[in-house]
Amino acid sequence: MNLTRRNFLKAASIAAASVPLSKVAAKAESGVVKAPLVAPGTFKNTQTAVGGVCEMCFWRCQLVGKIRDGRLIKLEGNPKSIDNGVSLCARGNAGVKLLYDPDRLKYPLKNVGKRGAPKWQRISWEEALDTCGSKLKAIVDQHGAKGIAMFPHGSTATYPMGFLENTVGTHNVSEASFFQCRGIRDTAYIATIGLPPNEDVDMANAKVMFFLGNHLGENVHVSHLKRYLKGLENGAKLVVVDPRYSAAAAKSHIWVQIRPGTDTAFLLAIMNYLIQNKKYNAEFVQKHGEGFDKMAEGIKGWTLEKAAQECDVPAAQIKEVAELLAANMPNVSIHPGRHVSWYGNDFQRQRALACLTGLLGAFGVKGGFVQPKGPKGLAKVGWPKGEHKEESLREMADVHHYSPPGTPTDLIRDTAITGKPYPIKGCVIWGQNPIQTIPNQEKTIKMLEQMDFVMCVDVMPTDITMYADILLPDTSYLERYDMIKTGTQWDFATEHKQYIAPRMPLVAPGFERKESIWITNEIAKRMGYGDKIPVQSQEEAINKMLAGAELSIDKIKAEDGIHIQPGKDPYGEMELTVLFHNQEVEDNGYPGIPTYIPVERAPEGYCRLLYGRSPVHTFNRSQNNAWLMAENDDSPVWINDKLAAKLGLKEGDKIALVNQDGVKSRTTTKVKVTPGIRQDCVYMYHGFGSMNPELTIGVGKGIDDQSLITKLAVDPETGAHGMRNNFVKLVKVS
Amino acid sequence: MQYGMIIDIDRCVGCHACVIACKAEWEVPAQFNRNWVHRLGPSLTSTGMASTYYPGLCNHCKTPSCVPVCPAEPVSFTFKDAKSGKTVTMEVAATWKDPFNGTVQVDRERCIGCGACRDACPYNARYVDEGLKDDNSLGKVDKCTYCMPRVAEGLEPACVQTCLARARIFGDLDDPKSAVAQYVKKGAVGLTSKAVQIGPNGKYFGSKKGDMELLMQAAPQEMPKVSLRRSLLSKMSLTAKNQIKEIGLLGLAGGLLIKSLQDEEK
């Protein structure tokens, strides 16, 4: 950057000439109008399109779009929103770059190469739909509905999933949001309090917030973070249990640097301490608890000292946390977590979290677990359920009794690979990227290779679309109607309001992109289900749903995209029973009280591979977004500074990773040396290292963590994957 | 009046929304930034482990090092106070400090893309988009304007509007009742160091000592070497330029010179 003499002279001479020349040049030019040198801003001379609902992630903030000359130039939070308000996160702001990404799918494509090494030929919709319809019908005719597997994700996949599951009748549907993410949380809470918890903790009004591995700040959901920050502002104490000094740990009052995999032991010791010292909410437990004595008896061995040893944290710190919770109960937010498919012992940990909430009586009270009272009345629209008597793979094997809806991924994948107990020969992938979502990519590819037919529907090319025979271009969330977001004002301490916000298009779809209802219906007709079609378009579906609440798209457009109505007080005693001991769980062959099941520790010379979220990315989905990649296009590996010194690694060193099975990362990344992580683990962002060269920005950036998760762990109660039981070595690359 | 920006790092969660909202609002090319968020740490500080963020942008400094180095032809410019309607006429090059609202602005039309101001800024708050080079310039400089065109319409700066954490507070530092002035009273400070004392009007507040330690380590520790020499040179050339202005034809000669320089680059 230093100025050389020559450069300076150049600059000075230009300066001398600039004024007169500009006048001369302006006249001399050919009449081509140049873009103004200064951007005019998006707030003037633009149109505002209302009714957007974000899908850069799945929190669904409400948007408006600024449009100039028919082109969307900026997204902002809808000023009418009582959820995200005018705010958006980085990803929400960057939706424009997804909409106009030149790498987006534009036309129906046929793979005339091989699965995994595709050669694409543009075909007509007619040909694409005929192929999908006839191939899927042939599979159903030969193998039955169960011969089709589906991997859906997102609201665009809801309708086709209903078609395949309800009407065609296959059980073999696996949603990553359940089996590789939050399904365990939901079924464990249902088995404890009868309700899925979502993330319904009233952090804004809590005295203590308790996070287990929850990395808010790196995990960004706007209204959720508003609650969290409001809690901190109001003076709540924050406890963060994490092997790493996460974004949340950096704002915590107590950071528990726990040994990975031992969280349940930590929770049991806290509960045991509260019980032994009579510091739990006896009144609540008396009124709402069941099986308390059994749990108390069963966990009494979990002394502070025992847990301290297992979790590798000071006993005094566990006590400090327990005392803090006791002193502030019931106004404590025991966060249920979101991505919880960690170690294959996760159902028990999630049960323990629900039981701890019960011990503290933190239900329905300020700062506790509080369910928002959202609007009611929206009608349901969907495919009719046919007469399907066949058992699912899960029922046949009599396993995973607390599975989330659908079928556990490995039951589908193993069945497809072995052909036992039956063949699975058709694969429909809609919005999901199973290469990046499901551990052990080799098995996923084997499953795909044995299929008679694979179709993918997506907005962008991804690693999975490389395996499609037919690849169909979906509309993006900015170009379609497709779901209705409902909720309440984010802070329960303020005036109670409810909102209804259907996703409405801000711009018309480009190229030959089509909405999922149309695609599904056209395939359904060709498979012989034309008479079962419930609606003709997304717009019709939304209007039918809204009619249940005496609303319509037109009405909501007139209300600037969001209907707001008076709400209800969400506080007050909840009608629920906390099953500290669950007899049914025990009868099904699992521990009836929350139980710690140890996991393998890192072998000598290896570190446990932990992963999490980049604040500017949604897994792999945003990995070709020019603005987001400019902010973060790598997944540096966090390594403890002392360990790094031992291994001779320095900040910024280029490395590859090799796991315990000898699998080497396809790409390389850099080392981030920090004291803020334990020595027995390393950490990196999930979702990087795409292999599809059609992602011209994203391909090969950073390392794909999922490629290194080859050793499978399956949570026995739920059948969901545990993805933090793999170990890696760092290999310096020169 | 002096506009200023407070960043409350107690509140900032490091989501980068401010950066992307700015890019969208002002059509900043993907590879450039008018503002940025750097994650600091986790590192050991005097109070133990800490990690925070450095959300940065042009500081619209009291004595901006970027302004005097601009070698562009000065023009007479009349500034108007939005409140009182008072006017001041000054000779300004292609970048200046507004005498009324205290912001530092750029005239891209007259910018010659030399990069002098960019190199003179210890905060790296400016970039030159060489893609915009034309017959008169080697590119165009750009930086945060504190969203003055938005502010003129009664809107918040784009980064402030989108911030979910309300970690960015914008206002008049000279108004003791303003939220920004209150923050300064509470202890918000600019990122200065022994060598860098140019009066930044972007100020940072954090109640944790460790966080502030990390942030102050991120402050520039030296003034760019180019700035002093360049500032001298540009002052010298000013006289020369004033003489040249009198002789219109020399402008054409200058134009030819630029063209030959650009050809040489190719």
Rounded CA-CA distance B191/A311 in Å is: 40
Is-contact B74 B238, C-beta < 8 A? yes
Whether the predicted pLDDT of A29 surpasses 50: no
Q: Which residue of B has its CA nearest to A627?
A: B30
- pLDDT confidence of residue A279: 98
Segment A241-258, tens digit of pLDDT: 999 999 999 999 999 999
Q: B15, A627: Cβ pair inside 8 Å?
A: no
Longest dimension (CA), chain B: 67
Rounded CA-CA distance A234/A201 in Å is: 15
Q: A93, B162: Cβ pair inside 8 Å?
A: yes
Lowest mean pLDDT among A405-419, A642-656, B75-89: B75-89
- pLDDT confidence of residue A214: 96
Rounded CA-CA distance B61/B191 in Å is: 11
Q: B112, A11: Cβ pair inside 8 Å?
A: yes
**Where in chain B are the domains?**
1-60+147-221, 62-143+224-266
Rounded CA-CA distance A441/A709 in Å is: 8
- Categorize the per-residue pLDDT at A1 as very low, low, confident or very high, splitting at 50, 70 and 90: very low
- Categorize the per-residue pLDDT at A7 as very low, low, confident or very high, splitting at 50, 70 and 90: very low
Cβ neighbours of A177 (radius 10 Å)? 17
Inter-helix orientation angle A5-28/B249-265, to 10°: 110
Q: Sort out which chain A residues have CB atoms less than 8 A from B109's CB and list them.
A: 22, 37
More confident residue, B236 or A663: A663
- Chain-centre distance of CA A365, in angstroms? 28
**Residue-averaged pLDDT of chain A:** 95
Rounded CA-CA distance A328/A205 in Å is: 12
Is-contact B116 B230, C-beta < 8 A? yes
Alpha helices in A181-255, H assignment, sequence order:
183-193, 222-233
And the tokens for A8?
């300076």
Whether the predicted pLDDT of A24 surpasses 70: no
Q: A2, B149: Cβ pair inside 8 Å?
A: no
CA distance A208 to chain B (A): 17
Q: What is the CATH number of domain B1-60+147-221?
A: 3.30.70.20
Whether the predicted pLDDT of A9 surpasses 60: no
CA distance A692 to chain B (A): 22
The pLDDT of A441-448, averaged and rounded, is 98
- Categorize the per-residue pLDDT at B244 as very low, low, confident or very high, splitting at 50, 70 and 90: very low
The residue among A187, A705, A163 whose CA lies nearest residue A408 is: A187
Lowest mean pLDDT among A136-150, A719-733, B80-94: B80-94
Rounded CA-CA distance A454/A115 in Å is: 9
- pLDDT confidence of residue A734: 84
Q: What percent of chain B has pLDDT over 90?
A: 82
The residues with which A674 forms a beta bridge, in sequence order, are A640
* Helix/strand number for chain A, H first, E second: 24, 26
Q: Which residue of B has its CA nearest to A83?
A: B164
**Residue-averaged pLDDT of chain B:** 89
A9 CB within 8 Å of a chain B CB = no
Whether the predicted pLDDT of A11 surpasses 80: no
Residues 6+ apart with CB under 8 A from A539: A481, A553
Whether the predicted pLDDT of B266 surpasses 90: no
A89 CB within 8 Å of a chain B CB = yes
The pLDDT of A708-713, averaged and rounded, is 97
- Categorize the per-residue pLDDT at A31 as very low, low, confident or very high, splitting at 50, 70 and 90: low
How far lies A604's CA from each of A565, A611, A639, A676, A679, in Å? Answer: 60, 20, 16, 21, 12
CA distance A2 to chain B (A): 6
- Chain-centre distance of CA A463, in angstroms? 17
Which element (helix H / strand E) includes A441?
helix A441-449
The pLDDT of A109-133, averaged and rounded, is 98
Whether the predicted pLDDT of B248 surpasses 90: no
Cβ neighbours of A405 (radius 10 Å)? 12
Lowest mean pLDDT among A22-36, A263-277, A295-309, A342-356: A22-36
Q: Sort out which chain B residues have CB atoms less than 8 A from A622's CB and list them.
A: none
Chains A, B: CB contacts under 8 A, how many? 239
Rounded CA-CA distance A109/A15 in Å is: 54
Angle, alpha carbons A618-A624-A628 (nearest 5°): 60
The pLDDT of A652-674, averaged and rounded, is 98
Tokens 């930034």 -> residue: B33
- In terms of Cβ atoms closer than 10 Å to its own Cβ (0-12, 13-18, 19+), residue A613 is buried
Segment A560-602, tens digit of pLDDT: 999 999 999 999 999 999 999 999 999 999 999 999 999 999 9
Inter-helix orientation angle A538-547/A516-526, to 10°: 110
Q: Measure the N-to-C terminal CA separation of chain B; round to a whole number of Å.
A: 46
Angle, alpha carbons B80-B7-B220 (nearest 5°): 90
Whether the predicted pLDDT of A364 surpasses 70: yes
Q: A16, B73: Cβ pair inside 8 Å?
A: yes
How far lies A94's CA from each of A327, A482, A562, A577, in Å? Answer: 43, 20, 22, 44
- pLDDT confidence of residue B228: 56
Residues 6+ apart with CB under 8 A from A588: A401, A402
Delineate the domains of chain A, giving CATH numbers in brackets: 109-180+377-566 (3.40.50.740), 196-370 (3.40.228.10), 607-732 (2.40.40.20)
- pLDDT confidence of residue A26: 39
Whether the predicted pLDDT of A19 surpasses 70: no
Q: Which residue of A has its CA nearest to B16?
A: A90
Extended beta strands in A491-636, E state: 497-502, 563-566, 578-579, 607-612
Q: Please spell the DSSP secondary structure of A648-663, one letter per residue.
A: T--TT-EEEEEETT-P
- Which ipTM was obtained for this model? 0.94
Rounded CA-CA distance A97/A87 in Å is: 18
Q: What percent of chain B has pLDDT over 70?
A: 85
A87 CB within 8 Å of a chain B CB = yes
Q: Which residue of A has its CA nearest to B147?
A: A41
Quickly name the fold that domain B62-143+224-266 has.
Alpha-Beta Plaits (3.30.70)
Whether the predicted pLDDT of A350 surpasses 50: yes
- pLDDT confidence of residue B82: 84
Is-contact A694 A626, C-beta < 8 A? no
Segment A193-223, tens digit of pLDDT: 999 999 999 999 999 999 999 999 999 999 9
Q: Measure the N-to-C terminal CA separation of chain A; round to a whole number of Å.
A: 27
Q: Which residue of A has its CA nearest to B258?
A: A14
The interface residues of chain A toward chain B in range 253-292, judged by CB-CB distance below 8 A, are 255
Which element (helix H / strand E) includes B163?
none
Cβ neighbours of B229 (radius 10 Å)? 14
Is-contact A603 A727, C-beta < 8 A? yes
More confident residue, B184 or B252: B184
- pLDDT confidence of residue B256: 45
- pLDDT confidence of residue A36: 78
The pLDDT of A113-125, averaged and rounded, is 98
The pLDDT of A376-397, averaged and rounded, is 95
Is the whole model's pTM more than 0.90, yes or no?
Answer: yes
CA distance A389 to chain B (A): 49
- pLDDT confidence of residue A388: 86
Rounded CA-CA distance A453/A137 in Å is: 11
Q: A217, B14: Cβ pair inside 8 Å?
A: yes
- Categorize the per-residue pLDDT at B230 as very low, low, confident or very high, splitting at 50, 70 and 90: low
Q: A20, B49: Cβ pair inside 8 Å?
A: no
Whether the predicted pLDDT of B114 surpasses 50: yes
Cβ neighbours of A718 (radius 10 Å)? 28
Whether the predicted pLDDT of B31 surpasses 60: yes
The interface residues of chain A toward chain B in range 462-501, judged by CB-CB distance below 8 A, are none
Whether the predicted pLDDT of A697 surpasses 70: yes
